[in-house]
């Protein structure tokens, strides 16, 4: 896919988050980055959370969760998050 072109239907913030994750972790093009926004209806849970998953071709998957919607996440939020161990590690 050409640089600057995003798949139709993918929110622009997801594309930006994926790019930030790739840059911050130094990922190659063979490593998948998946961004999912999930709703939570349980008491005390934020209404929307964002899950970031990194799926390398030759290693274990890594996952982080932020308790805010994707459009409220900045690269400054990602930097400290991605420097800690992923969930399930």
Which domain range does residue 24 map to? 12-82
Tell me the pLDDT tens digit for each residue of 28-65. Answer: 989 999 999 999 887 887 888 999 999 998 889 999 99
**57/53 Cα distance (integer angstroms):** 13
The whole-chain average pLDDT of the chain stands at 85
The reply to whether 23 falls in a domain is yes
| pTM, rounded to two decimals | 0.80
The reply to whether 2 falls in a domain is no
How many CB atoms within 10 Å of residue 20? Answer: 20
The reply to whether 88 falls in a domain is no
- For the chain, the domain total comes to 1
Range 62-82 average pLDDT: 92
């Amino acid at each position: 896919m050409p640089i600057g072109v995003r798949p139709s239907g993918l929110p622009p913030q997801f594309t930006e988050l994926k790019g930030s994750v790739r840059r911050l972790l130094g990922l190659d093009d063979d490593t998948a980055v998946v961004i999912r926004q999930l709703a939570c209806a349980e008491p005390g849970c934020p209404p929307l959370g964002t899950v970031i998953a990194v799926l390398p071709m030759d290693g274990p998957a890594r996952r982080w969760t932020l308790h805010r919607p994707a459009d409220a996440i900045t690269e400054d939020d990602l930097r400290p998050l991605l420097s800690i161990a992923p969930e399930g590690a």
